[in-house]
């Protein structure tokens, strides 16, 4: 675990918790690292929602499978950030999403039941951890509200531009890099990949944007 301590210290879940406290806290929570290869399933839809995770290295994708077999990407989680925390903290009977490794890397899985209840040693930093978790949950809710806004667009054009404009607003730059490949971006926007590619091509022809793989530049007029 020592090779991942720096990644954990950068995680919003462990803000304000020192290295020595962090090691003790992980023992208290029974946290254990898991190596992953690209494509590995980290958590499966349908299993009990008892664990939340922190990406230690690489990234994971959170997705949902619709009844018609269509895969919807809910988001991509990078090193230091959490996944499945809302479901685990809500004690959901079953996990409604699947978490898959987007790259080779490692994750830390934490039992939410041990995280939410003070330990027998009554560590002061356990309270700090719970406060950090509440902040993370609030930020994720804001992000979810943003996605709802993206999907409110009636056309692929409207959805894509709403998403890119929000990334531009967040970074303060006209050129942004999306955290998805083209298929995952289509899944995130709940549209067909071929139709998305055609729309991107049309927007380039109209001079609205420039696209180079995952990099997009909005052309302000």
Quick one: pLDDT band at residue 32, thresholds 50, 70, 90? Answer: confident
Quick one: pLDDT band at residue 1, thresholds 50, 70, 90? Answer: low
Q: What is the mean pLDDT of residues 15-25?
A: 82
pLDDT at 221: 60
Q: What is the phi/psi pair of residue 6, to 5°?
A: -65, -40
pLDDT at 70: 81
Topology of the domain covering 152-218: Arc Repressor Mutant, subunit A (1.10.10)
| pLDDT at 28 exceeding the cut of 90 | no
Which is more confident, 192 or 130?
192
The domain ranges of the chain are 2-143, 152-218
Q: Position of tokens 């056309």? A: 155
Strand ranges, E, within the chain? 32-36, 41-43, 51-57, 59-65, 71-78, 82-83, 98-101, 105-111, 175-177, 209-212, 215-218
Give tens-digit pLDDT for 130-183. Answer: 889 889 988 888 877 777 888 889 999 999 999 999 899 889 999 999 988 899
Q: Please, are residues 77 and 83 in contact by the beta-carbon 8 Å criterion?
A: yes
Q: What is the phi/psi pair of residue 8, to 5°?
A: -70, -40
Q: Please, are residues 56 and 110 in contact by the beta-carbon 8 Å criterion?
A: no
DSSP lists the bridge partners of residue 215 as 177, 212
Give the strands of the sheet with 215-218, arranged side by side: 175-177, 215-218, 209-212
DSSP lists the bridge partners of residue 34 as 107
Give the strands of the sheet with 71-78, arranged side by side: 41-43, 98-101, 59-65, 71-78
| pLDDT at 121 exceeding the cut of 60 | no
Topology of the domain covering 2-143: Jelly Rolls (2.60.120)
pLDDT at 168: 93
pLDDT at 118: 61
Quote the mean pLDDT of the chain.
88
Give tens-digit pLDDT for 98-110. Answer: 999 999 999 999 9
| pLDDT at 26 exceeding the cut of 90 | no
Q: Please, are residues 4 and 35 in contact by the beta-carbon 8 Å criterion?
A: no
pLDDT at 72: 83
pLDDT at 188: 87
Quick one: pLDDT band at residue 69, thresholds 50, 70, 90? Answer: confident
Q: What is the mean pLDDT of residues 77-106?
A: 92
Q: What is the mean pLDDT of residues 9-36?
A: 84
| pLDDT at 201 exceeding the cut of 70 | yes
């Amino acid at each position: 675990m020592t090779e991942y301590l720096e990644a954990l210290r950068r995680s919003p879940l462990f803000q304000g918790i020192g290295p020595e406290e962090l090691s003790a806290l992980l023992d208290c929570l029974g946290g254990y690292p898991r190596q992953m290869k690209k494509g590995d399933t980290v958590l499966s839809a349908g299993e009990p929602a008892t664990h939340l995770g922190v990406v230690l290295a690489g990234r994971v994708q959170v997705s949902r499978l619709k009844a018609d077999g269509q895969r919807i990407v809910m988001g991509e989680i990078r090193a230091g950030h959490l996944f499945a925390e809302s479901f685990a903290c809500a004690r959901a009977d079953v996990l409604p999403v699947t978490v898959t490794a987007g790259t080779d890397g490692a994750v830390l899985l934490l039992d939410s039941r041990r995280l939410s209840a003070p330990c027998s040693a009554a560590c002061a930093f356990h309270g700090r951890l719970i406060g950090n978790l509440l902040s993370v949950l609030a930020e994720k809710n804001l992000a979810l509200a943003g996605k709802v806004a993206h999907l409110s667009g009636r056309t692929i054009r409207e959805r894509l531009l709403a998403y890119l404009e929000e990334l531009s607003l967040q970074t303060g730059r006209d050129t942004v890099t999306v955290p998805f490949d083209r298929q995952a971006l289509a899944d995130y926007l709940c549209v067909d990949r071929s139709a998305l590619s055609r729309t991107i091509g049309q927007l380039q022809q109209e001079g609205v944007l420039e696209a180079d793989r995952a990099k997009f530049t909005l052309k302000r007029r």
